[in-house]
Structure 1
Amino acid sequence: MSTLPSSSQQYGPNPTTPAFADDTDWFTAYLEIHALSEASWRYAYIFWLAIGSVTLTFTALRLFALQSGRLGAYWSKWSLRRRTWRKKHSLAQARKSGQPHKQPRLLPSNVELLCLVSLITACLVATFVGPDYIAPTNDFVKRLMARDITAYKPQYTIQKAWWTSGGRAGLMSFALFPLCVLFALKRPPFAIFAISFLTDIHFDKLMWLHRWTGRFVWAMVTLHAVLWSVQLANDTRSGTGKVAYVYAWQFPRFIYAWTAYILLTLLVLLSLGPIREKHYEIFYAFHVILVPSTIVMSALHHPPLWWWCWFALLLWAGERTWRATNWMYVNGFLGSPVHVPPTTSSGLRLSTRGEVLEMRSASPDLESIDFSTDNKHYAKNIHRDSLSMYHSPDSERPHHSKHRSTSSTTSFLTPILPPFSVPIGYGHAEVLAGRTIRLRLIPPGQLTWAPGQHFLLCIPSVSRLVSHPFTCASVYDEQKPGDDGRMITFLIRARNGWTKNLWTTVVSLLADGRRHPAQECPGTLPSSGVLLRTWVDGPFGSPVRTNWGLYSSAVIISGGSGVSFGISVLEFLCLCMAGRDGRDLGGNVGKVSAMRRIRFIWILRDFAHMQWCASVLHRCRSLVPRESLQLDLFVTNFNPSVPLGYNDIGNSTSPGDRDSIALPSVSEGHGASFDEDGFIDDQIPDDFVDLSYYTGEYNETGELGHEEHRLDLTNFDGEHDDRMPGETSLNRTLKKEGTIRRALTRKARARRRGKPSLEEKPVPESRRPPDSPMFNAETNYLLDSPVHPLRNPPGPSADTSAKRRSYPKPASLSLPSVPTTPLPPSLGDWDTPSPRDRLMDGSLDWDRKRVSSTFSQMSSSLQPLVREAPKGVELEVGDQEMRDVRIMTEFARPGRPKIDSILKDEAGRTSGRVVVACCGPATLNAVVRKAVAAQISPSRIRRGDYGGSIDLVVEDFSY
Structure 2
Amino acid sequence: MALSTRMLLAALFPLALAEASQSTPAEIAHQQASYLENVRICKYSAWTWAAIIFVVLVYRWTRTLLHHIRQLANLNGSLHDGRQRYFSMPDQRWAHVKSSIIIAPLLRKRHNREFNLSGAVNVGTLPSRLEAIVLIGYFAMNIAFTVITINWRDPGVWYEDGISRTGVLAVLNMIPLFLLAGRNNPLISLLDISFDTYNLIHRWAGRMVVFEAVAHMAFWMASKIAKQGHAGWTTIGKAMASSEFILAGTIGAAAFVAILFQSPSIVRHAFYETFLHLHIALAATAVGAVWIHLKLLPPGPPWPSFLFAAILIWVIERFIRLVSLIRRNTGRGITKAQVEALPGDSVRVTLRISRPWTFKPGQHVYLYMPSIGLWTSHPFSLAWSSEEVDVNSDKMPTNRQDVLASKKATVSLIIRRRTGFTDRLFRKAEKSPLNKFTTTAFVEGPYGNQSFESYGTVMLFAAGVGITHQVPHVRHLVAGFANGTCATRKVILVWVIQSPEHLEWIRPWMTEILGMEKRRDVLKILLFITRPRSTKEIHSPSASVQMYPGRPDVGALIEKEQHNQIGAMVVSCCGTGSLSDDIRKSVRDRCERTEIDFCEEAFSW
TM-score (norm 1): 0.52
Is the counterpart of residue 193 in structure 1 residue 187 in structure 2? yes
Contact 2:569–2:595 (CA under 8 A) maintained in structure 1: yes
Q: 1:598 to 1:247 in 2, by over 3 A?
A: same
Question: Deviation per CA, 1:793-835, whole angstroms, max 9, x where unpaired?
Answer: xxxxxxxxxxxxxxxxxxxxxxxxxxxxxxxxxxxxxxxxxxx
Could you tell me which residue of structure 2 aligns to residue 635 of structure 1?
529
CA shift in 2, pair 1:171/1:241, >3 Å: closer
Helix, strand or coil at the partner of 2:39: helix
Q: Which residue of 2 aligns with 1:74?
A: 96
1:476 and 1:81, CA in 2 relative to 1: closer, same or farther beyond 3 A?
A: farther
Q: 487, 491, 501: which one pairs with 2:414?
A: 491
SS at match of 1:106: coil
What pairs up with 1:623-662 in 2 under 5 angstroms?
623=516, 624-638=518-532
Q: Contact conserved, 2:112 with 2:126, CA < 8 A, in 1?
A: no
Aligned counterpart, 2:396: none
Does structure 1 conserve the Cα–Cα contact (< 8 Å) formed by 2:367 and 2:441? yes
Quick one: distance in 2 between partners of 1:243 and 1:497?
A: 48
| 2:343 corresponds to which of 433, 450, 463 | 433
**Match runs of 1:806-955 below 5 Å:** 891-937=546-592, 940=593, 948-955=594-601
1:582-628 Cα deviation digits (max 9, x unpaired) = xxxxxxxxx31x11110000001101101111232232233234131
Q: Distance in 2 between matches of 1:485 and 1:950?
A: 40
Do structure 1's residue 215 and structure 2's residue 237 form an aligned pair? no
Q: Which amino acid aligns with 1:39?
A: E
Instruction: State whether residues 494 and 500 of structure 1, in contact with CA within 8 Å, keep that contact through their aligned partners in structure 2.
Output: yes
Q: Which residue of 2 aligns with 1:622?
A: 515
Q: Which runs of 5+ in 2 are unaligned?
A: 2-12, 22-26, 68-89, 296-300, 390-402
Residue 956 of structure 1 and its aligned partner are, at CA, apart by: 0.6
Q: Deviations over 1:34-86 (max 9, x none)?
A: 99413322112211211110111011011012898544322221231334389
- The superposition leaves residues 485-512 of structure 1 with CA deviations (integer Å, 9 ceiling, x where unpaired) of 73111111111111111111122233xx
CA–CA distance in structure 1, aligned partners of residues 405 and 560 of structure 2: 42
Q: Distance in 2 between matches of 1:460 and 1:576?
A: 38
Which residue of 503, 507, 530 corresponds with 2:437?
530
- Rounded to whole Å, the distance in 2 between the matches of 1:469 and 1:173 is 31
Whole-angstrom distance in 1 between the partners of 2:136 and 2:14? 34
- Listed one character per residue, the Cα deviations across residues 131-159 of structure 1 (whole Å, up to 9, x for unaligned) are 369xxxxxxxxxxxxxxxxxxxxxxx999
Match of 2:149 among 105, 109, 130: 130
Which of 236, 242, 246 aligns to 1:254? It is 246
Paired position in structure 2 for 1:179? 176
* Cα distance in 2 between the residues matched to 1:600 and 1:57: 35
Q: Write the distance in 1 (CA, Å) between the matches of 2:136 and 2:146.
A: 15
Q: CA deviation at 1:547?
A: 3.9
Is 1:186–1:202's contact at 8 Å kept on the other side of the alignment? Answer: no
* DSSP 3-state at the match of 1:64: helix
Q: CA deviation at 1:130?
A: 2.8
Q: Which amino acid aligns with 1:307?
A: S
* Greater alpha carbon shift after TM alignment, 249-258 vs 546-555: 546-555
1:459 pairs, out of 369, 379, 401, with: 369
1:562 paired residue among 452, 456, 466? 466
Q: Distance in 2 between matches of 1:104 and 1:308?
A: 33
Q: Which residue of 2 aligns with 1:46?
A: 44
Q: Is the aligned partner of 1:598 residue 2:491?
A: yes
Mapped partners of 2:462, 2:183: distance in 1: 25
Match of 2:354 in 1: 444
Q: Is the 8 A contact 2:466 2:574 kept in 1?
A: yes
Equivalent position amino acid for 1:130 in 2: T
Asked whether the 8 Å contact 1:278–1:497 carries over to 2, the reply is no
* Superposed displacement of residue 246, structure 1: 4.9
3-state SS in 2 of match to 1:302: helix
- Measure the CA separation in 2 of the matches of 1:636 and 1:558: 13
Query: 1:719-738 CA deviation, whole Å, 9 max, x = no partner?
Result: xxxxxxxxxxxxx6xx16x2
Partner of 1:364: none
Amino acid in the other structure paired with 1:464: L
Contact 1:425 1:444 in 2 (8 A): yes
**Residue in structure 2 matched with residue 348 of structure 1 by the alignment:** none
CA contact (8 A) 1:634 1:896 kept: yes
Opposite residue 332 of structure 2, the aligned amino acid is P
- 1:857 match: none
Aligned-partner residue type, residue 230 of structure 1: A
Q: C-alpha distance in 2, partners of 1:331/1:14?
A: 50
CA–CA separation in structure 1 for the residues paired with 2:530 and 2:232: 76
Count of residue pairs the alignment pairs up: 536
Q: Tell me how far apart the structure 1 counterparts of residues 274 and 324 of structure 2 sit (CA, whole Å).
A: 25
Structure 2 residue aligned with 1:167: 164
Relative contact order, higher structure (CA 8 A, sep 6+):
2
1:851-878, CA deviations, whole angstroms, 9 ceiling, x for partnerless residues? xxxxxxxxxxxxxxxxxxxxxxxxxxxx
**Secondary structure in structure 1 of the residue aligned to 2:362:** coil
Equivalent residues of 2:498, 2:531 under 8 A apart: yes
Letter in 2 for 1:924: L
CA distance in 2: counterparts of 1:634 and 1:173, whole angstroms: 51
Within a 5 Å distance, the mapping from 1:46-65 to structure 2 comes to 46-65=44-63
Shift of residue 247, structure 1, vs aligned partner: 4.9
> For 2:126, what is the secondary structure of its paired residue?
strand
* Native 8 Å contact 2:414 2:468 kept in 1: yes
Amino acid at match of 1:463: G
Which residue is 1:508 aligned to? Answer: 431
Q: 1:207 to 1:242 in 2, by over 3 A?
A: closer
Matching residue within 472, 475, 478 for 1:574? 478
Contact 1:104 1:922 in 2 (8 A): no
Q: Distance in 2 between matches of 1:458 and 1:47?
A: 38
Contact 1:442 1:487 in 2 (8 A): yes
Q: How does 1:312-461 map to 2 (within 5 A)?
A: 312-332=310-330, 336-337=331-332, 425-461=335-371
What is the CA–CA distance in structure 1 between the aligned matches of 2:177 and 2:232, rounded to whole Å?
42
Q: Which amino acid aligns with 1:498?
A: F
Say whether the 8 Å CA contact 1:474–1:567 is kept in structure 2. yes
The correspondence of residues 219-230 of structure 1 with structure 2, limited to 5 A, is 219-230=211-222
CA distance in 2, matches of 1:301, 1:533: 43
Q: Which residue of 2 aligns with 1:956?
A: 602
Matched-pair contact (CA < 8 Å) for 1:202–1:540: no
Q: Distance in 2 between matches of 1:241 and 1:612?
A: 67
State the alpha-carbon separation in 1 of the partners of residues 214 and 122 from structure 2: 33
Q: Within 5 A, what are the aligned runs for 1:686-697?
A: none
TM-aligned CA distance change 1:484 to 1:110, over 3 Å: farther
TM-score calculated relative to the size of structure 2: 0.80
CA displacement, residues 694-720 of structure 1 (integer Å, 9 cap, x when unaligned): xxxxxxxxxxxxxxxxxxxxxxxxxxx
* Native 8 Å contact 1:451 1:572 kept in 2: yes
Distance in 2, matches of 1:905 and 1:312, equals 51
Displacement of 1:203 in angstroms is 1.8
**Native 8 Å contact 2:123 2:265 kept in 1:** no
Q: Secondary structure at the match of 2:44?
A: helix
- Aligned partner of 1:245 in structure 2 is 236
- CA deviation vs aligned residue, 1:325-347 (integer Å, no higher than 9, x gap): 11011111xxx328xxxxxxxxx
Q: CA-to-partner distance for each residue in 1:758-796, whole Å, 9 max, x for gaps?
A: xxxxxxxxxxxxxxxxxxxxxxxxxxxxxxxxxxxxxxx
SS in 2 for 1:551: coil
Unpaired segments ≥5 residues, structure 1: 2-12, 22-28, 134-156, 339-423, 511-526, 581-590, 640-675, 682-731, 746-887, 941-947
